[in-house]
Structure 1
Amino acid sequence: MKKLILILLMVIFSITSVFAKIKIGALLAISGPASHIGKPAEIIIKTLTENFNKKNNLNEQIELVIYDTKSQPKIAIQFAKKLINKDKVDVIIGPNTTGSALAIIPFVQKAKIPTMTLVGGTSVVEPVKKYVFKSPQKTSTAIKKIKEYLLKHNITRIGVIADSGGFGQDGIKSLKKNANGLEIIGIEKFHKSDANMTSQLAKLLKKKPQAILAWTVGSAGAKIAKNLRQLDKEVLLIQSHGLADYYYIKLAGNFAENSILPATKFIVASQLPDSDPQKKILIDFNNQFGKLIENSSVHSVYAYDGFNLIIEAFKKSKEKNIPLVDALESIKNYVGVTGVYNLSNKDHCGLDESSMVIIKVKDGKFILIV
């Protein structure tokens, strides 16, 4: 009888082991203003999940639960609670917008659910929150890259225009903190839904800046480009890394010409030297998802890195028998599409300025400058 029970236990253990679940929740802006990022991110995460389950990696299967935040922080909170309390997920990927990511932080922190956000805002991970990570570069990293370029070209007087949302205000905060060597001659705010930003730009231009730094995402950046060029055709326009995307040129057209932007390397992958450590993975990613990205948003690549960082952490967690959050903090020299990640308990992003380049819009295309 004991032998039979032992055999049954071994069979049960074997079945449990083979079909063990990694439960991943995703909060994505599948609809709403950020859907150009959320929709392709959903496709990428679903594809990676299917590939993982086919290969039966780690002798486990992923169960994926996705909710549409509709690009709204309140809805993100609602579904974050559902993922935590009802779905009992092991980890969360998303949201896609800084405002939504900031909104869910208290809930994932309290529940101790590791969360890989897909947003640019620095304040999501600074100061460090034990269970909150991000796969895109921090806003402060993009600001430092811009400052480096400006000072190199003796451009010190800048006017700033930023949206009133989480991303825009995070940009102002990071700029003030890292403005050493720059003179900010004025800061103007706007709502992303505003029809135009002519009055704010006119105020800045009266103060004779050498450059206008715009900090926003989506169609608002195209409006700024158009309004600025209608007022002044010469002053340098610098857009945020949130505008380093194909849709910017599509929306702004000729008004985007000569804009300068900090960007991920993906957008100019073919222009990188062969010695760049990311070039191979960038080409491989482009072969798999290039068309999807070209027709949507470069920023959906963050979902690819976010998902793979989580899987890498699951591997380390299993190998070393450590909590998933500690495994995430132990990831070093991980080459992703967005950059080479070096995470720690003091840095939940793990990317520095070397993960970014400066690009310029020339003849309707992005070209690599630095």
Structure 2
Amino acid sequence: MVTLSVGTGCAKEQSSGGDDSSQIVIGADLELSGPAAVQGEAYQRALKMVQADINKTGIKVGGKTKKIKLIIRDNKSTPDESVTVAKALINNDHVAAIVGAGASPTTMPVIPVVEKAKIPMISMGSSGAIVNPVQKYVFKTPGNTDIIGNVMMKAFAKKKIKKIAVLSVDNPYGEAGLKEWQALDKAGKIDLVAHQKFSDSVKDLSVQATKVTAAKPDAVVVWAIPPQSGLAAKALRQKKFPGDHVYYDTGAGSELFVKGAGAASEGSYMVHSRVLAGNEITATTPAAQTEKNFFTEYSAKYGGFSGFAPMAADALNLIVAAIKKGGSADPQDIQKSLENLSYDGAFGTYQFSSTNHGGVSESSLTVLQVKNGTWSLSDLG
């Protein structure tokens, strides 16, 4: 298990997550190796950037100015290791809160761990099952599966799309997406004509693409992160299925999707925050300005932008906003403040409550399209 402690120079080591130290220790349970490492790298970069910004002025807690100490651990993209990481952060590092895990499969088994320890966790996993039913100490930043489905359905209505095929990764994240489309099919809102699952380690999706295109769908929905989302784009294009009839969920929002898929990604659509097209955002509101500022800062610092980055940035900023709101870094006080928090973040707007620990609001998501090799705002948003 790889551990990276991102401290603040010579500041003393913190022994608890409480208010009696010079630092507030926040843990991060991230996928820095394994199949989901494309997410973890972006998360880690975003967290370091946000930590540095916060620590320029520090946080006023109990009359003292404190700084954030990040302890980042690699869960290797596996559920068992994610549980080990979470327990180490809680029992050994005595964190006040946890950012992560970064994916649905690595988040689900951690839920009972943080609930028992009463440590708030903000996940970057997308599955609605993370927060439904509501667990007291568990929150998330991505939009819930049904919200992504709603946004995509509005796009389908504009293009008069009815017959759908689904390609989904065979894990809890992909299963949540498939179940959403099966529910929409059962409700008569779409006609699910085919679906195929695949491993998160698959190297070729030609067989699955052949089977779904044989059903002659109006559109294919792909529920996967890179590199599999890019493999799907290539396989579908090889079957002569048009790119502008392929739709991706937020998980494809890495710069590696377009790079990996190349010309096969051209014309594809995805439901995501508008921050992914940060150069096109007109900052006419404080929320839009926040999104544009994050896009600009991250892109300048790292030489490109990842759609995963704002999810982690918001997770850390939400924890800090809760600390400021409650005037306390006690884990239970953070939980109480999170549950009554309204926040405009880089990924979108959050309105948490005792009955809603889910991610960004539906109004924060839009439909983007690959145009000339980059994600751009589309006319379907």
| TM-score, normalised relative to structure 1 | 0.89
In structure 2, C-alpha distance between the alignment counterparts of 1:86 and 1:199, rounded to whole Å: 47
1:55 is paired with a residue of what secondary structure? Answer: coil
Task: Output one character per residue of 1:41-82: Cα deviation in whole Å (capped at 9) or x when no partner.
Answer: 223323333443342321223332221112221111111111
8 Å Cα contact 1:122-1:139 kept in structure 2: yes
Higher alpha-carbon Rg: 1
Offset, 1:88: 1.7
What is residue 284 of structure 1 aligned with on the other side?
293
8 Å Cα contact 2:142-2:359 kept in structure 1: no
Task: Output one character per residue of 1:312-345: Cα deviation in whole Å (capped at 9) or x when no partner.
Answer: 101122279972211001012x111111111111
In structure 2, C-alpha distance between the alignment counterparts of 1:225 and 1:75, rounded to whole Å: 31
Name the amino acid aligned to 2:267.
Answer: N
In structure 2, C-alpha distance between the alignment counterparts of 1:233 and 1:205, rounded to whole Å: 7
8 Å Cα contact 1:257-1:363 kept in structure 2: yes
Alpha-carbon distance change, 153 to 227 in structure 1, aligned in 2, over 3 angstroms: same
8 Å Cα contact 1:37-1:296 kept in structure 2: no
Offset, 1:34: 2.2
In structure 1, C-alpha distance between the alignment counterparts of 2:183 and 2:339, rounded to whole Å: 26
Instruction: Determine which of 24, 37, 44 is the counterpart of 2:39.
Output: 37
8 Å Cα contact 1:160-1:188 kept in structure 2: yes
In structure 1, C-alpha distance between the alignment counterparts of 2:208 and 2:202, rounded to whole Å: 11
Alpha-carbon distance change, 96 to 246 in structure 1, aligned in 2, over 3 angstroms: same
2:55 is paired with a residue of what secondary structure? Answer: helix
In structure 2, C-alpha distance between the alignment counterparts of 1:101 and 1:294, rounded to whole Å: 29
8 Å Cα contact 1:328-1:343 kept in structure 2: yes
In structure 1, C-alpha distance between the alignment counterparts of 2:296 and 2:112, rounded to whole Å: 39
8 Å Cα contact 1:25-1:93 kept in structure 2: yes
8 Å Cα contact 1:131-1:325 kept in structure 2: yes
Task: Output one character per residue of 1:245-280: Cα deviation in whole Å (capped at 9) or x when no partner.
Answer: 321111001111111111111111232344455321
8 Å Cα contact 1:245-1:267 kept in structure 2: no
Name the amino acid aligned to 1:305.
Answer: D
In structure 2, C-alpha distance between the alignment counterparts of 1:24 and 1:129, rounded to whole Å: 20
Is it true that 1:88 corresponds to 2:94 in the alignment? yes
Deviates more, 1:231-240 or 1:348-357: 231-240
1:136 is paired with a residue of what secondary structure? Answer: coil
8 Å Cα contact 2:144-2:359 kept in structure 1: no
Instruction: Determine which of 234, 257, 273 is the counterpart of 1:226.
Output: 234
8 Å Cα contact 1:246-1:294 kept in structure 2: no
What is residue 333 of structure 2 aligned with on the other side?
323
What is residue 182 of structure 1 aligned with on the other side?
190
In structure 2, C-alpha distance between the alignment counterparts of 1:171 and 1:286, rounded to whole Å: 27
What is residue 275 of structure 2 aligned with on the other side?
266
Offset, 1:294: 5.3
8 Å Cα contact 1:198-1:227 kept in structure 2: yes
Is it true that 1:172 corresponds to 2:178 in the alignment? yes
Deviates more, 1:178-187 or 1:306-315: 178-187
Aligned residues: 354
Alpha-carbon distance change, 18 to 207 in structure 1, aligned in 2, over 3 angstroms: closer
Alpha-carbon distance change, 320 to 217 in structure 1, aligned in 2, over 3 angstroms: closer
What is residue 252 of structure 2 aligned with on the other side?
243
Deviates more, 1:29-38 or 1:220-229: 29-38
Task: Output one character per residue of 1:116-170: Cα deviation in whole Å (capped at 9) or x when no partner.
Answer: 1112221111111111001122222211110111022210100111110121111
What is residue 312 of structure 2 aligned with on the other side?
303
Instruction: Determine which of 44, 64, 73 is the counterpart of 2:79.
Output: 73
Instruction: Determine which of 145, 157, 171 is the counterpart of 1:139.
Output: 145
Note the residue ranges of structure 2 that are not aligned, 5 or more in a row: 1-17
Name the amino acid aligned to 2:307.
Answer: V
1:360 is paired with a residue of what secondary structure? Answer: strand
In structure 2, C-alpha distance between the alignment counterparts of 1:152 and 1:242, rounded to whole Å: 23
In structure 2, C-alpha distance between the alignment counterparts of 1:56 and 1:259, rounded to whole Å: 42
Alpha-carbon distance change, 50 to 270 in structure 1, aligned in 2, over 3 angstroms: closer
What is residue 11 of structure 1 aligned with on the other side?
none
8 Å Cα contact 2:147-2:362 kept in structure 1: yes
8 Å Cα contact 2:352-2:358 kept in structure 1: yes
In structure 2, C-alpha distance between the alignment counterparts of 1:174 and 1:109, rounded to whole Å: 27
Name the amino acid aligned to 1:149.
Answer: A
Note the residue ranges of structure 1 that are not aligned, 5 or more in a row: 1-15
Deviates more, 1:44-53 or 1:84-93: 44-53
8 Å Cα contact 2:253-2:306 kept in structure 1: no
> Whose helix fraction is larger, Structure 1's or Structure 2's?
1
Name the amino acid aligned to 2:209.
Answer: L
Instruction: Determine which of 189, 212, 215 is the counterpart of 2:223.
Output: 215
1:24 is paired with a residue of what secondary structure? Answer: strand
What is residue 13 of structure 1 aligned with on the other side?
none
